[in-house]
Amino acid sequence: MEFAVEVEVLGRVRHKNLLGLRGYCVGADQRLIVYDYMPNLSLLSHLHGQFAVEVQLDWKRRMNVAIGAAEGLLYLHQEAKPHIIHRDIKASNVLLDSNYEAQVADFGFAKLIPDGVSHMTTRVKGTLGYLAPEYAMWGKVSESCDVYSYGILLLEIVTGKKPIEKLPGGLKKTITEWAEPLIEKGKFHELVDPKLRGNYEESELRRAIHVAGLCVQGDPEKRPNMRVVVETLKGWGIKEKEMSLRIESAKYVDELMAADQPSDDEVAGEESNTYGVFGTMEVHKTQSPNGKMAFHR
């Protein structure tokens, strides 16, 4: 099913920041999809994998990747017919071509949204750390779920931190929990990936923090659409005094964190720094005892 969805979606999309379909083959015992070759592999490889030490992604390239991925999502949400929700935005699904331009990839979990439909309820698939709380808990999927995932990705690009860090003693901390106190204290320079050695544009950093904070809000109705995200990151129509430099962290309940399992890459011993996959699960439409969404702030 994921193969069929991927081929269908790839056959519909045409955008410079979306990985295009060159061809596919269905045999008796194998299925193949042919894409353009991506010599610089994925964003994951540069932030946490084999290219991390080389620091090929300087600040300018990181912001270009962030904007490119946002423009790809904008096309899916507002220009593709029907609209498409990706559902699995993460660093390993942002590939980099020879010019380090972002190519959003892997549409196996994508949902095509008919006109007039704002959201759907479905089984939860994706990677814990990137999943919007309302999607992780109840399978309620909408464009704002991709926006939330993008906000996490943007923080990851800026900080070089993983969406979920595994701490000593088996504890885990989300990237928003880590970033929130630093932003509150105005320690923006401590947010930036230390591998960049202080080489970044402060105005762009502030815009990125502002956008990420808007994207990861717990209330999906308050998140911006991807057009606003793109325009703000580019500095269009936004003044610094209008920016809200704050992030309210959303912490997954313990049951969700416990459900986090090692990814296929971790099991295979490749890219051992990748994050657990929150695989397919039945969604229980429940509420927490106080009637509120079952995640903590």
Residue positions annotated with a catalytic role: 88
* Residue appearing with tokens 């129509």: 237
Structure tokens at 89: 């935005």
Residue 281 β-bridge partners:
124
* Residue appearing with tokens 């969700």: 256
CB-neighbour burial class of residue 48 (10 A; exposed 0-12, middle 13-18, buried 19+): buried
| Cα–Cα dist 247/60, whole Å | 23
CB-neighbour burial class of residue 20 (10 A; exposed 0-12, middle 13-18, buried 19+): middle
Q: Hey, what long-range contacts does 116-121 have (CB within 8 A, 24 or more apart)?
A: 118/142, 121/283, 121/285
Pairing of strands 251-252, 295-296: antiparallel
| Cα–Cα dist 296/128, whole Å | 15
Q: Cα dist. 42→45, 123, 157, 285 in Å?
A: 5, 27, 12, 35
Please give the radius of gyration of the chain, using alpha carbons only, rounded to the nearest integer.
18
Residue partners of 229: CB distance under 8 A and separation at least 6: 70, 73, 74, 147, 150, 211, 214, 215
CB-neighbour burial class of residue 27 (10 A; exposed 0-12, middle 13-18, buried 19+): exposed
